[in-house]
Amino acid sequence: MSSQMIELILITILTASIPLVIAAVGELVCERAGVLNLGVEGMMIMGAATGFAAAIQSGSTTVGALVGILAGMGLSAVFGLLVIFLAANQVATGLALTILGSGLSGLIGSGFVGLKRESAGHLHIPGLSDLPIVGRLIFGEDPFVYAAVALVCGVAFFLTRTRAGLTLRAVGENHTSAHSLGVPVRRIRFLAVLFGGGCAGLAGAYLSLSYTPFWSPGMTAGRGWIALALVVFASWKPFRAFAGALLFGGATVLQLHAQAASVGLPGQLLTAVPYLATIAALVVLSLRKGRGSVAPAALGIPFIPER
């Protein structure tokens, strides 16, 4: 196998992993605060639709990305108001959010189906970008890739090295004790939900602005659900989430190459490979009997302050 082919495969794996990384890290922060948001898929598809529409209308990828973030945050704000301030069931509300996002995205994107635009620009550093194998992989990606890496590093630092991050983790572990110490539990959770929604919207915008780039209904293709599984797979740790996303990105690329090579298996089975890998990873994780994979203690439990 030539160095160019190896480089191409690595780049394909990385780009397929980016939406999973961004969405999973946002959901990880949300769950660390004690809120389970199953609406990641809906927020992603909203980010994809609104981001593409805004980019077409404005001619700017940056504007499209920002609009995608705002769309994800808008849906997550609705979710946050319901589950944090009205104590609605988090599972049911998250599922409803996914259905709402799917319907709204179809409505917003109905006039943009079939349209195409230029993909987001790629970095090019003379000399470095031309290095074999690692040149384009490290020095020739689009801004979304570098933003995803920065996001992972920033969230890891925030959760483990800052006072605000430790406070957020305390809220996710025991919101009653945190409240008794004067910590604004509901405000912290709401901000965490907004952050998770913004990340999901950005992940969706990446799909329609850079990864494809075009809009079609259902283009997230279950990536939001894989991102949710990744958080568990990663034991609620950002760098593990990044590594897990690369694993699932590799599974996606594997099924694409298998279909192109006509390996003799049904195309539907090959398409299911990334999701089968998700199930297998969760099974393996469960067999570890909780070693380093304990969820935040207050995850999914509504907080109702004493009156």
**Residue 239 above 90 pLDDT?**
yes
Whether omega for the bond prior to residue 213 falls within 30 degrees of 0, making it cis, is: yes
pLDDT confidence band for 276 (50 / 70 / 90): confident
- Burial (CB < 10 A; 0-12, 13-18, 19+), residue 219, is buried
pLDDT for position 290: 52
Residue-wise pLDDT for 20-58, tens only, equals 999 999 999 999 999 999 999 999 999 999 999 999 999
Question: What CA–CA distances, in Å, run from 289 to 51, 212, 232, 299?
Answer: 41, 39, 13, 19
**Residue 103 above 80 pLDDT?**
yes
Residue-wise pLDDT for 165-210, tens only, equals 999 999 999 999 999 999 999 999 999 999 999 999 999 999 999 9
pLDDT for position 178: 94
Confidence (pTM): 0.91
- % pLDDT > 70, the chain: 90
**Residue 91 above 90 pLDDT?**
yes
